[in-house]
Amino acid sequence: MTNLVLFGPPGAGKGTQAEILKKKFNLVHISTGDVFRYNIKNKTDLGTLAKSYMDKGQLVPDEVTIKMLNAEVEKNAGVKGFIFDGFPRTTAQAEALDKLLATKNTEVAAMIALEVEDKTLILRLLERGKTSGRKDDADEAVIANRIAVYYKETAILKGYYQKKNKYYGVNGEGEVSDITLRLATVIEGL
Ligand code: AMP
């Protein structure tokens, strides 16, 4: 299996690139944010709980997120691999992912990070907020909080994967197709 963690702050382009890469490399894309939004839309208990955090730009608690991610992976037995988008976001989540993949005799092949400047992120998120219907994209204070949470709780994962020689940084600025090429070069070299 080839399991990739697509990494980067909110607005880095993880979702856009994951949609392209999953077709190119025949992988299953799991976006924890999308799964939460699906649950919100369908008014499940998980959705109600997740919404109370997401609307403020805070992380959904690890226990809930890890349980949900495990269930998504279990639903996809026999696939070639996964692109994890928006997960892991904390050290506890990264450890849980390692454990889960180990039970399937596999592991994370690489964390590939999209590197984008903060000012580009804010512009992209506000632009997306005009059409995405996402409450957390429409409010500049919530966007600022999401970026702050990224630096406080998530950015540390760069070191987690660097220690394992699995971290790859890619320039996430510019044209979508150029960024895809940069990512594909890393993946093909794994
Ligand atoms: P995203 O779609 O990745 O931008 O995520 C939107 C929101 O969903 C985040 O701001 C969090 O509130 C929640 N979320 C998504 N993934 C996770 C995760 N791995 N851990 C905790 N919260 C998450």
Q: pLDDT at position 169, please?
A: 98
Q: pLDDT at position 120, please?
A: 95
Instruction: Spell out the domain ranges in the chain.
Output: 3-29+80-188
37 is catalytic: no
Catalytic-role residue among 22, 37, 89, 124: 89
Q: What is the pTM of this model?
A: 0.97
Correct CATH for 3-29+80-188 of 2.40.50.140, 3.40.50.300, 1.10.1270.20, 2.40.10.10: 3.40.50.300
Assess whether the C-beta atom of 87 lies below 6 angstroms from ligand 1.
Answer: yes
Give which of 80, 14, 51, 24 is closest to 142, Cα–Cα.
51
Alpha-carbon separation of residue 18 from 26, 30, 42, 54 (angstroms): 11, 9, 24, 21
Please state the rounded mean pLDDT for residues 78-91.
Answer: 98
Helix or strand holding residue 100 (H, E)? helix 91-102
Atom of ligand 1 nearest to the CA of 61: 21
DSSP, res 113: E
Atom of ligand 1 nearest to the CA of 36: 8
Assess whether the C-beta atom of 121 lies below 6 angstroms from ligand 1.
Answer: no
Please state the rounded mean pLDDT for residues 39-56.
Answer: 97
Please state the rounded mean pLDDT for residues 78-87.
Answer: 97
Tell the residue nearest (CA) to atom 8 of ligand 1: 33
Assess whether the C-beta atom of 57 lies below 6 angstroms from ligand 1.
Answer: yes
